């Protein structure tokens, strides 16, 4: 507790040189009474003669001490007031029981009215203040003024300040506030430094203040000389009289109705008359006090004059302008200074400034421009001509120096702007150079990083490929995972012109026949989602072949990005750009022995294999690009010493084509038809043949006239240049409509081949090889290709009949060994042509090499699955597991290839197969013969393939012809399109016709 709240002790001590008491002890807060009595004090301090006794001094000191801090000496103060001043102690309130409920009851509700409601102003008086007020009882007056106001017995519009200010000598008075004029409120007042300067304001003097101490700019009279007469105070639209009674002064409205009883608020008639006279005198006095200055400030236009560039600051307008806007004069004067400088620079003789516009401009703008300054002039139309003349500002004083300064300023500004423009341009160019150089550096660095990453991944992949080749003998006998991706990675020009290219990559569903090996798990990647009926159909065939629960070892994956890219995108690229599919493939092969089996191998397949770090069961992509073309196959055949057609390969220009063809025609005039092949085409798309029997130069050559050989060759070349564009037969008119288009593709696609066509073709066998990574060459099957008149191969049959198997085997082994030496392994197909020469001797030429797994090769695997047979590498026949004398050994088949027509998509899936079953086109599982359907996804894709298996070759041919005729009959005549982009049924019809003609012969 602080010192000011500490209570003094009860003992007193006298000093020698004074009689003042001192405190030595401190009372406790619980005990606040004096323990000394009067007798004790009389004994201790005896009275002195001729002076006040010590006891009286002590009592006086005690009294002063107690009264100095009554909060601390609360009980002593109450005792002292009761003893000396006869003020009674506060009455103790005794709590009584209310309604019979004891006072110590806590938490219970007390019933009954504890307080009596006091009367308030009646409702009619509240709604209509003009009605007379009810009388106020004496008991209500005793409750106080606040109580009367709260209960609305005293109206709220009555001024009650006279009741408070009834004493003239009171130190604090309440009166009406004085509102000085606006221009007097902002005038700086002198600071008062004397203590008695305005003492009369606080009623410290009894007399009136001296005249020299009156407050300036006030219209209120001195409070000490207030008039006793009534005065009028404005109150809204009515007047309120200041009426004085004996005890108080109350302001009341003019139309106020008096109460019926005598009240202290009733004014006398004399007071009303005096108030009216006083109001009239006040109005006259206020009108008289409006001086010339006030009128000037109120009605002046405040037009300031600037003459010869100088502001006239002694005119009444200027002084009135200063007095009116003195509160913001600093900003106004800055605008006037700018106007003065502007007019002085242009030597304007006289200008009138509108002060109100200047005030507006000063309040709204900090740095006004010349246009805004001119708008403040009254005579702007007279000033503008001076400003518009450029030489006016140089006619005044110091004009020559101003002119020289202006010329230097303009010249320096021009030079600097020119330099700045040049510097800005150079900086911009330097920034652009730096920016592009930075991008180039970043680009080169990024490319280096990417190349390094690719090189490292490729190095690891090559190591895995070497390990894969080295351990192939172990891998092919152990458990492994085969990922089949039938990606046709041809050139972009070929893919964009291939009909239904996206669904064509899904045509080798028979690849899952690898599940016949119990150690194999197959991951089949499709370009489009497979239909469940199609997948279940193939799985039933596998179960028929002895595979138990094939779906346990089969995973079918479709890239999630198949709909985001064009239909011409290769399947390997779709997988590469699908991150979810890539993660799925990595998960499936994690910790397992796995490898890829691609389709047409290309750079996309190599990139995917490197990214997945999986070996490829196929040739190196670089070698595949070189030797997988028509010209590359000629190099392989030449190195294998296999007979091939007479001709020239690696032809790129029209001149080379005509020159080499004329030379070959001179060497081999006995061949009447020559064929031209584009290197990177497939399926008969890039074929064109030329009949040369009508060439006159060639006829002369055939008449054995060798005397003019050079002349005949020149004539033949000239004749070919004119004859070829008109007589050349292009097979795929929908791809290459005219000779220029064909010639352009020959140049852009890497060249082409010219070959002689035999006059008497017996057949076209095809040998399907599997070259193992260790170099072992296996013959999977030998088929007979069914070729139409335009040399398009679409279908095949088994067994072959046009050439002895031994000759085909030796030639195939020789080609296989050369391919392995070129790092080509995996699935390879070699196409031959068998013909009869002039000496009636059968001869064989190797015409094409395909470095991929073909549909024809897969059809033979399906045939082996149904018949439960195998191909005998020694005899070239299919042998049953039942023995050599089994009738299965004589089975044959014809595979149609993928038929394509838009009308196929309109066939209903279930009804189509039901109709085929009714017409006898179904599979007999017990007899192991019948029809097997090959579907891309469903019939909605417009593609379908059939494999017809019969007991004999004639039965198979009959079954195949009947089935094809039935399928064609389901297509309306108007939809049987010729050979083109959407249909290839014409090729199949011609093949069927050849089969029927051959069987009849």
| pLDDT tens digits, 487-518 | 998 888 888 888 888 888 888 999 999 999 99
Structure tokens at 103: 């006072």
Diameter of the chain by CA atoms?
Answer: 188
Structure tokens at 513: 């026949």
Do 843 and 834 contact (CB within 8 A), yes or no? yes
Q: What angle do CA 123, 128, 132 make, to 5 degrees?
A: 90
Which pLDDT score, from 0 to 100, does residue 720 have? Answer: 86
For residue 633, which of 579, 574, 576, 682 has the smallest C-alpha distance?
A: 682
- Helical H runs in 521-629? 532-544, 571-576, 579-589, 603-612, 621-627
Please give the Cα distance from 176 to 166 (Å, whole number). Answer: 15
Which pLDDT score, from 0 to 100, does residue 888 have? Answer: 76
Consecutive H or E run containing 401: helix 399-470
793 alpha carbon, distance to own chain's centre: 53
DSSP 3-state of 723: helix
Give Cβ neighbours of residue 764 (< 8 Å, ≥ 6 apart): 784, 785, 787, 793, 802, 831, 832, 833, 834, 847
For residue 368, which of 333, 325, 338 has the smallest C-alpha distance?
A: 338
Same domain, 482 and 387: no
In a domain, 812, yes or no: no
Please give the Cα distance from 795 to 800 (Å, whole number). Answer: 13
Same domain, 609 and 475: yes
Give Cβ neighbours of residue 770 (< 8 Å, ≥ 6 apart): 777, 778, 780, 826, 827, 828
Structure tokens at 548: 């138990």
Consecutive H or E run containing 880: strand 878-880
DSSP symbol at 578: -
Structure tokens at 950: 């019969």
In a domain, 332, yes or no: yes
Which pLDDT score, from 0 to 100, does residue 653 have? Answer: 87
Neighbours of 857 (CB within 10 A): 24
In a domain, 121, yes or no: no
Please give the Cα distance from 41 to 767 (Å, whole number). Answer: 149
Provide the CB-side half-sphere exposure for 462 (13 A, CA). Answer: 9
Neighbours of 68 (CB within 10 A): 9
Please give the Cα distance from 790 to 987 (Å, whole number). Answer: 9
Strand partners, 557: 525
Decide which of 350, 376, 397 is a domain's last residue: 397
In a domain, 931, yes or no: yes
Structure tokens at 359: 């005030």
DSSP symbol at 942: S
* Residues written for the chain: 1001
Give Cβ neighbours of residue 887 (< 8 Å, ≥ 6 apart): 951
Same domain, 393 and 489: no
Please give the Cα distance from 934 to 946 (Å, whole number). Answer: 6
Same domain, 386 and 504: no
For residue 631, which of 603, 653, 651 has the smallest C-alpha distance?
A: 651
Structure tokens at 767: 């040998």
**Overall domain count for the chain:** 4
Which pLDDT score, from 0 to 100, does residue 981 have? Answer: 61
Same domain, 365 and 484: no
Neighbours of 209 (CB within 10 A): 17
Do 605 and 596 contact (CB within 8 A), yes or no? yes
Please give the Cα distance from 819 to 813 (Å, whole number). Answer: 10
- Compute the radius of gyration of the chain from its Cα atoms: 63
In a domain, 519, yes or no: yes
Distance from the first to the final alpha carbon of the chain? 138
- Rounded alpha-carbon distances, angstroms, from residue 268 to 253, 260, 275: 15, 15, 11
In a domain, 846, yes or no: no
For residue 773, which of 595, 592, 610, 512 has the smallest C-alpha distance?
A: 595
Helix axes 316-324, 292-299, angle to 10 degrees: 80
Please give the Cα distance from 482 to 617 (Å, whole number). Answer: 10
For residue 677, which of 573, 569, 596, 756 has the smallest C-alpha distance?
A: 756
- Which range of residues forms the domain containing residue 298? 293-397
Same domain, 478 and 603: yes
Which pLDDT score, from 0 to 100, does residue 338 have? Answer: 92
Which pLDDT score, from 0 to 100, does residue 995 have? Answer: 84
Strand partners, 899: 944
Decide which of 31, 62, 84 is a domain's last residue: 84
324 alpha carbon, distance to own chain's centre: 61
In a domain, 992, yes or no: yes
Do 628 and 489 contact (CB within 8 A), yes or no? no
Give Cβ neighbours of residue 488 (< 8 Å, ≥ 6 apart): 495, 498, 501, 504, 505, 570, 571, 599, 600
Helix axes 532-544, 855-867, angle to 10 degrees: 50
For residue 752, which of 661, 845, 652 has the smallest C-alpha distance?
A: 652
> What region does 591 belong to: left with phi over 0, alpha with psi -120 to 50, or beta?
left
Same domain, 361 and 493: no
In a domain, 806, yes or no: no
Strand partners, 830: 767, 849
Structure tokens at 750: 């890497």
Consecutive H or E run containing 820: helix 805-821
Mean pLDDT by 10 residues, the chain (1001 residues): 39 36 37 41 42 65 74 73 68 51 52 63 74 77 77 70 60 63 60 48 41 38 41 39 40 40 51 69 58 78 90 90 89 92 86 92 87 91 82 71 87 93 94 94 93 91 92 93 92 86 88 93 92 88 89 93 89 93 94 93 91 90 85 92 91 88 87 90 87 82 67 82 85 87 86 91 94 93 90 89 92 94 92 90 92 93 91 87 70 90 82 88 88 81 89 90 90 69 81 76 53
Same domain, 476 and 584: yes
Q: What is the pTM of this model?
A: 0.60
Decide which of 589, 617, 645 is a domain's last residue: 617
Rounded percentage of the chain residues whose pLDDT exceeds 70: 74
Please give the Cα distance from 693 to 670 (Å, whole number). Answer: 10
Give Cβ neighbours of residue 798 (< 8 Å, ≥ 6 apart): 781, 782, 783, 784, 860, 863, 878, 892, 893, 894
């Amino acid at each position: 507790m602080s010192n000011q709240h500490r209570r003094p002790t009860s003992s007193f001590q006298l000093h020698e040189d004074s009689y003042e008491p001192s405190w030595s002890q401190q009372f406790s807060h619980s005990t606040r009474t004096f323990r000394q009595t009067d007798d004790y004090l009389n004994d201790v301090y005896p009275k002195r003669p001729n002076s006040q006794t010590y006891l009286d001094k002590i009592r006086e000191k005690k009294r002063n001490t107690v009264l100095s801090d009554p909060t601390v000496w609360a009980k002593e103060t109450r005792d002292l007031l009761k003893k000396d001043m006869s003020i009674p102690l506060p009455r103790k309130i005794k709590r009584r029981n209310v309604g019979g409920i004891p006072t110590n009851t806590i938490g219970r509700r007390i019933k009954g009215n504890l307080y009596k409601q006091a009367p308030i102003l009646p409702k009619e008086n509240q709604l209509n203040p003009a009605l007379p007020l009810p009388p106020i009882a004496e008991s209500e007056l005793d409750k106080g003024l606040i109580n009367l106001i709260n209960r609305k017995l005293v109206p709220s519009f009555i001024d009650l300040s006279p009741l408070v200010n009834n004493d003239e000598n009171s130190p604090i008075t309440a009166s009406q506030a004085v509102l000085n004029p606006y221009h007097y409120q902002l005038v700086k007042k002198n600071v008062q430094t004397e203590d008695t300067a305005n003492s009369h304001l606080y009623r410290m003097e009894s007399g009136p203040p001296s005249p020299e101490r009156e407050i300036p700019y006030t219209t209120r009279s001195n409070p000490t000389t207030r008039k006793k007469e009534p005065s009028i105070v404005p109150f809204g639209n009515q007047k309120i009289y200041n009426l004085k009674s004996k005890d108080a002064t109350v302001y009341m409205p003019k139309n106020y109705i008096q109460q019926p009883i005598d009240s202290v608020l009733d004014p006398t008639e004399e007071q009303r008359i005096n108030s009216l006279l006083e109001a009239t005198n006040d109005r006259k006095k206020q009108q008289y006090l409006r001086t010339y200055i006030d009128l000037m400030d109120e009605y002046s236009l405040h037009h300031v004059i600037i003459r010869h560039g100088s502001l006239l600051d002694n005119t009444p307008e200027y002084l009135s302008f200063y007095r009116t806007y003195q509160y913001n004069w600093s900003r106004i004067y800055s605008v006037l200074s700018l106007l003065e400088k502007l007019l002085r620079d242009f030597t304007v003789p006289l200008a009138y400034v509108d002060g109100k516009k200047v005030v507006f401009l000063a309040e709204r703008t900090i740095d006004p421009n010349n246009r805004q300054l001119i708008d403040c002039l009254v005579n702007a139309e007279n000033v503008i001509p001076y400003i518009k003349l450029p030489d006016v500002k140089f006619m005044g004083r110091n004009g020559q120096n101003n002119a020289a300064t202006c010329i230097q300023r303009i010249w320096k500004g021009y030079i600097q702007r020119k330099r700045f423009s040049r510097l800005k341009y150079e900086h911009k160019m330097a920034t652009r150079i730096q920016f592009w150089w930075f991008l180039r550096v970043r680009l080169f660095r990024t490319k280096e990083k990417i190349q390094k990453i690719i090189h490292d991944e490729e190095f690891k992949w090559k190591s895995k490929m070497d390990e894969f080749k080295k351990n192939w003998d172990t891998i092919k006998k152990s458990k492994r995972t085969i990922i089949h991706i039938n990606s046709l990675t041809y050139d972009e020009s070929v893919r964009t012109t291939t009909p239904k290219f996206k669904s064509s990559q899904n045509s080798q569903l028979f690849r899952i026949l690898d599940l016949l090996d119990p150690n194999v798990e197959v991951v089949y990647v499709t370009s489009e989602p497979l239909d469940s009926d199609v997948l279940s159909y193939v799985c039933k065939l596998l179960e028929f072949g002895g595979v138990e629960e094939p779906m346990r070892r089969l995973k079918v994956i479709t890239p999630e990005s198949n709909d985001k890219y064009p239909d011409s995108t290769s399947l390997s690229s779709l997988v590469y750009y699908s991150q979810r599919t890539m993660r799925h493939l990595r998960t499936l092969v994690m910790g397992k022995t796995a490898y890829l089996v691609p389709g047409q191998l290309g750079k996309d397949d190599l990139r995917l294999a490197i990214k997945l770090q999986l070996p490829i069961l196929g040739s190196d992509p670089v070698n595949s690009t070189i030797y997988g073309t028509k010209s590359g196959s000629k190099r392989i055949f030449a190195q294998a010493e296999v007979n091939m057609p007479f001709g020239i390969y690696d032809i790129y220009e029209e001149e080379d084509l005509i020159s080499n063809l004329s030379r070959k025609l001179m060497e081999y005039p006995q061949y009447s038809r020559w064929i031209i092949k584009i290197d990177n085409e497939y399926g008969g798309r890039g074929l064109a043949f030329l009949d040369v029997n009508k060439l006159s130069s060639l006829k002369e050559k055939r008449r054995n006239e060798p005397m003019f050989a050079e002349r005949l060759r020149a004539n033949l070349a000239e004749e070919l240049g004119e004859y070829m564009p008109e007589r050349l037969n292009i097979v795929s008119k929908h791809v290459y409509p005219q000779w220029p288009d064909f010639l352009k593709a020959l140049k852009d696609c890497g060249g082409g081949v010219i070959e002689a066509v035999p006059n008497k073709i017996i057949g076209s066998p095809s040998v399907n090889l599997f070259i193992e990574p260790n170099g072992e060459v296996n013959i999977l099957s030998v088929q007979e290709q069914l070729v139409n008149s335009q040399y398009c191969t679409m279908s095949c049959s088994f067994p072959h009949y046009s050439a002895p198997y031994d000759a085909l085997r030796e030639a195939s082994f020789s080609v296989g060994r050369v391919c392995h030496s070129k790092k080509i392994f995996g699935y390879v197909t070699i196409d031959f042509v068998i013909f009869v020469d002039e000496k009636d001797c059968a001869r064989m030429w190797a015409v094409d090499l395909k470095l991929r797994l073909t549909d024809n090769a897969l059809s033979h695997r399906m045939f082996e699955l149904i018949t439960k047979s195998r191909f005998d590498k020694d005899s070239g026949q299919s042998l049953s597991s039942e023995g050599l004398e089994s009738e299965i050994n004589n089975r044959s088949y014809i595979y149609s290839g993928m038929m394509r027509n838009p009308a196929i998509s309109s066939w209903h899936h279930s009804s189509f197969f039901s109709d085929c079953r009714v017409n006898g086109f179904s599979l007999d599982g017990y007899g192991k013969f019948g029809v097997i359907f090959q579907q891309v996804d469903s019939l909605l894709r417009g593609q379908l393939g059939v494999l017809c298996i019969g007991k004999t070759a004639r039965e198979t041919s009959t079954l195949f012809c009947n089935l094809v005729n039935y399928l064609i009959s389901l297509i309306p005549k108007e939809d049987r399109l010729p050979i083109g982009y959407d249909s290839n049924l014409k090729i199949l019809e011609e093949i069927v016709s050849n089969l029927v003609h051959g069987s009849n012969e």
